[in-house]
Every structure is written in structure tokens, then in C-alpha cells.
Structure 1
Amino acid sequence: MAPGPWTNPPRPIPTPFVAVPGLLSAECRTDGQHHYLAVTIHPTPGAARTNVITGDVVIDGSVRREWGLHIVDLNLTMGNLIDIVRAQALTYRKTAR
């Protein structure tokens, strides 16, 4: 993955993961025969966090454009799945008593 700064100006992030609440959203879309995950950046002009998202797949020094943001989009969808499973588990616990 091509590393990129998550803040502007760039500062080191001391953890293996970074959270950017509200900066990105994703939704499944269909355009004719194509099904894809559309990622939208919600920029905040003049904010400390970046509005440029990196997450490119790089092989032998070349960015593989056909991969899009696959390294980033996995985490975008995971957030919603965790929330859904949490809500389902709470509902199950309430009804299983």
C-alpha cells in the first residue's frame, strides 16, 4: 500500500490503524451490469485531517489502478457490519431470555 499522510500538515500516526469519523462513506451501487462499492470523501476545508485518501495497491513500484481503494474499502464496510452484528446480538439477547 502506498502510505499517505492522514493529517495536514503530515504528522506521524503511532498506531497501526487510523479512524476518520465522517470523512468517508461507502455504498453499494449498480450501473448496468457492474456492481461496485462507491466511496465518497466528505472534505472539511482547512481541517487538520487530510481530504486526500491513499490506499493504492502497489506491485513492483507501480500503482495498480484497477484495484481502486480496496485496502481502504474493506475497513469502510467492516464498520457497518460490526454495528449490525452488535445490534443483532443485543436483540437476540433480549428475546432469548
Structure 2
Amino acid sequence: SSFFGRPRGGGGVAGCVNPAAPGKRSTLDSYFTADAEASIFAPGDEADEATSWIEPSAGEIETPFVHVDDLVTGECTALDGFRYLEATITGAGDGPRADDVPGDLSPDWGLHLVDINLVMGDVVRNVAAQAEAFAGG
């Protein structure tokens, strides 16, 4: 009963591209808000104490975003008529980093709240490559 991942009103197929490695499972180059509970719809309140990506004993994140390039893998998946980029959390093991990605509002939405965050580094790299190719570089 997902809201995303298939065309509405009949025929067609929903597209899926893994920007990290089209056609393959690959580690995603993710950027999230420093407050692990914030999103594009709810950026967080500076008056509230933020939920950190790391244990307090490991220090404090002092930037608005945090780069986690080895936390999530992604692969395009087709299941029950839906096509989507399946995100798998690889976890931090015994390290001080969080093992969870917030943003799953409901089963119908999946991780749509953070879908661009999951692949931000990959998208930026692809845009840079396209710009260079367009400029003849």
C-alpha cells in the first residue's frame, strides 16, 4: 500500500536509479542534518536539545550537516509491483555513531522524508561530472 514506487492510473513502470552506482548495490554517500531527528519538513528547534549522530563521549557535531558515507547501502528493488531504491543500514558496530536513520514516517512513505539526504553526495558528484562533460572538460 505504498504511496510511492508505482505509476498511478494504469500502465507504465516506475523508474529507479541508484545514483551511487546505477544497476548495482552500493554504499550511499549520505548527508543528514546534524540533529538526527530533524528533516526538510521539521528542521528542528534550536531551543530543544538535538538528537546526535554520535555518543556524547565522542564529542559534539558543530556543523549543520553530518556526512556519513558508510552507513547506508542502496539498490533498486522491484517487489509486489513497486520499484524503489531499497536502503539498508549497515550500522556502526561498536563505534560511537548512531545505527539508525530517522525519517520513516509510516510504511506507506518509507524513508521518503530523507530520500535526497541518503544520496546527496552521490547526486552532487553526478552533477559535477555532467557539468564537466557539458563544458567539454
TM (norm. structure 1) is 0.68
Q: How many residues align?
A: 88
Q: Name the residue aligned to 2:131.
A: 89
Q: State the Cα RMSD in Å.
A: 2.5
Greater than 4 Å deviation, 4+ residue runs: 9-12
Q: CA deviation at 1:46?
A: 0.9
How far off is 1:8 after superposition? 2.9
Amino acid aligned to 1:6: W
SS of the equivalent of 1:47 reads coil
Which blocks of at least 5 consecutive residues in structure 2 are unaligned?
1-35, 38-50
Tell me the residue number matched to 2:94.
46
Q: State the percentage of identical aligned residues.
A: 38
**Cα separation, 2, equivalents of 1:33 and 1:43:** 29
- Tell me if structure 2 keeps the 8 A contact 1:39–1:73: no
Give the SS at the match of 2:66.
Answer: coil
TM-score, normalised on structure 2?
0.52
8 Å CA contact 1:55, 1:71 repeated in 2: yes
Partner residue of 1:28 out of 63, 68, 76? 76
